[in-house]
Amino acid sequence: MAEQFILPDLGEGIHEAQIVSILVHEGDVVQEDQPLMEVETDKAAVEIPSPLAGKIVSIHVQAGQTVNVGDVMVTFGNDAEAAPAAAAAASKGPPKAAPPQTAQPQAAAPAARTAGAAPADAASPAKAGRPAKVAASPAVRRRAKELGIDLAAMQGTGPGGRVTQADLDGAASGKPAAPAERAAPAERAGAQAATPAPAVSMAPDSELPDFSKWGPIRREPISQIRKTISNHMARSEAMNVHVMHHDLADVEMLEQLRKDHNLRKQESDPKLTLLPFVIKAVHAAMRRYPMFNASFDHARNEMIYKDYFHYGIAVDTPRGLIVPVIRDVDRKSIRALATELIEIGAKIRESNFKIDELRGGSFTITNIGSLGGIVSTPIINYPEVAILGLGKAEMKAVVVNGEVVARYTLPLNLSFDHRATDGADAARFVGEIKSYLEVPGRLLLED
């Protein structure tokens, strides 16, 4: 009997993906968990494994196509059985195809590999002689093996009876997870916004002039990550009232301290950059100015202050800007932050990270200093209310005690939402950060 494989739930908030490459062909016989194709989601290149062993009789997608969660990707079975299923899939309308891309596949994120299929009838001939397959992603299956949990004995609370990570956590703790249907009202009650965010007004392509009248042109579909960044930035500009405050910190003492550490450090010690000091200085200042570690709820006219300190750190990669989150910076030393920055930077550039590592930030820091430039206006990472951009640290002529001297300086560019706070508080906040960077010994006195 033919069985269709649909694009599974790839993680919280991810509704679509772009096909990067297809790794199998029609007529191939594949094994369970064998990679079928690679897709690109909001932030990660993800390998989709086969949910079962069998023959591929029809592939319903192509490279470059954008597909939604629930769309039919592949039909398994024999040719005669697959014909009606393929016809049914085709009757839903033409696929949302994009011109094929020539981009090379990115390395897959092993922890992000997820797949699932609509469970087939347990009494079907294809399932004869073996138990019905439990609906669960490979990540959930691996976790179940680690915990020694038999998935076949569980009743999943996810869509269609799918077993979720919450189900496993509940089974491990002895407390069953609440079904998604019953949890929905509580989640809605705790949502930050009472009404959906207004749609971002974008001019349609039909309003663009015909550029080919003036010379040759070419069109190329953008990648899924670039589309996500574009939409997110447009939404941030539409939702936030952006204002930027610029200042210049004299970090001569801090630079000497950093260089001295790197010269004397043991092999096991992390190499220090300015960034971990900036993170600690931001946190020290944040305790006096909590309005920058918050979100603005326009629908309820409320400020949502966050009593946790999870800072996003923008990382430049060949695939686009990715913002992993360093959690609990208030509990970590400068040395620990330096080590974590090195580790997470390597994971991001190798695409070896989990989607959850990009979520939950309360404030963001972006650093363009290594690329040059002094002043920038970074876009706020909505629904946060502020982002700090670092410029190029370099020697400049400054006046100290009435004399012009050469000092090592660091530009600080704070973009903030004027709905959440005013320019005076932004100036004080940046001034507080600056004071910690200019006298780094103050950081040693912080809890």
Q: What is the set of active-site residues?
A: 418
- Residue 361 CA to residue 322 CA, distance in Å, equals 13
From residue 360, give the alpha-carbon distance in Å to each of 148, 201, 309, 327: 30, 27, 10, 9
Structural tokens at position 72 = 């039919």
Q: DSSP readout, 58-84? A: EE---TT-EEETT-EEEEES-HHHHHH
Which residue, among 108, 174, 163, 154, has the nearest Cα to 135 in the 3D structure? 163
Q: Residues 245-267, buried b or exposed e (16+ Cβ, 10 A)?
A: beebbbbbebbeebeebeeeeee
Which 3 state secondary structure label does DSSP give 239? helix
The packing angle between helices 334-349 and 275-286, to 10°, is 120
* Dist. CA 310–CA 292, nearest whole Å: 12
**What are the beta bridge partners of residue 68?**
16
Q: How many CB atoms lie within 10 A of CB 408?
A: 20
- Whether the Cβ atoms of residue 292 and residue 283 lie closer than 8 Å to each other: no
Residue (of 390, 380, 164) closest to 273 by Cα position: 390
The residue written with tokens 């039919």 in the block is 72
Contact 229, 43 (CB under 8 A): no
Q: How many CB atoms lie within 10 A of CB 47?
A: 23
